[in-house]
Amino acid sequence: MVICQLILSSCSFAASKVISPDENPFQFTIINEAYSDDAIHAVISLKSEKRWSTEDVAVSYTGVRDGEIISQNIESVANLINKKTIVESSSDSLYVPITITGEKLTDYQITFLWGHSAREKLKPVPKPILKDIQITEGQNYEIIAKLVNEGTGILENSVIGVSFLWIPEGKTVDLDSLVYENEEEVPLEGMAIEPGGEKIIKFTLPKPTNIREGGKLKPNIRLIK
């Protein structure tokens, strides 16, 4: 699988370069580009000698400022042109608009992928996030939180870790060196969350009976997967 890649500078006209069909199935030309303080806008003329679907071709685009990657994204051509279609004729060019966001970008990189590589990159992926965690102390600790799916695929088989964090006296929580006390893994079986959806999760955590000196135990939940 060949990846057609072109690194372009917003400060020159290197964007006029055409990749030959002898090197890959596609020929594309950057026919227009405009840049502002917070984005670069480009239009690509894309064509191929072969019949192809806009759903099976992915465009990866990266914004760079002075050698540092500022933004990265990947989308299907179908999403970029807001149309799922089959391109039949090699004489037809498809015009693909791309917006690369980032403040004061100096360069950008565009990569085309197709076939299996594109399908793997475009495969819907869930992104679980725990939000609005509330802990109420009574006879036990009652923990309530929102499990949100900010990804593009259905979220299933999440696992939550329920535990106590040991915090030495006079210290604050160090996220880089947390010690989880007797963490229990709780699989959320049968819970499926659609992209953009959320569900409330609740846990009861009994208070520890072995009280130690020199610090305190803080109830905690975290997302394991």
Q: Write the pLDDT tens digit of every residue in 148-168.
A: 988 888 888 888 888 877 777
Q: Quickly tell me which residue has 């890959």 as its tokens.
A: 24
CA distance 117 to 59: 11
* pLDDT confidence of residue 43: 92
- How would you write the pLDDT of the chain (225 residues) with one tens digit per residue? 333 344 333 332 233 333 333 446 778 888 888 888 889 999 988 888 777 888 888 888 888 888 888 888 888 888 888 888 888 766 678 899 999 988 888 888 888 888 777 878 887 778 888 889 888 888 888 888 899 988 888 888 888 888 877 777 776 665 555 556 577 888 888 888 898 899 998 888 887 776 677 777 778 888 888
Q: Coil, strand or helix: which one is 5?
A: strand
pLDDT given at position 24: 62
Quote the distance between the C-alpha of residue 39 and its chain's center: 19
Range list of β-strands (E), 84-127? 86-87, 94-101, 107-114
Domains of the chain (ranges, CATH numbers): 4-122 (2.60.40), 128-223 (2.60.40)
Q: What is the pLDDT of residue 12?
A: 28
Say if pTM beats, i.e. exceeds, 0.75: no
Gap between the Cα atoms of 183 and 104, Å rounded: 45
Query: What stretches of the chain show up as alpha helix (H) in DSSP?
Result: 77-81, 115-122
**Of 123, 15, 126, 129, whose CA–CA distance to 61 is shortest?**
15
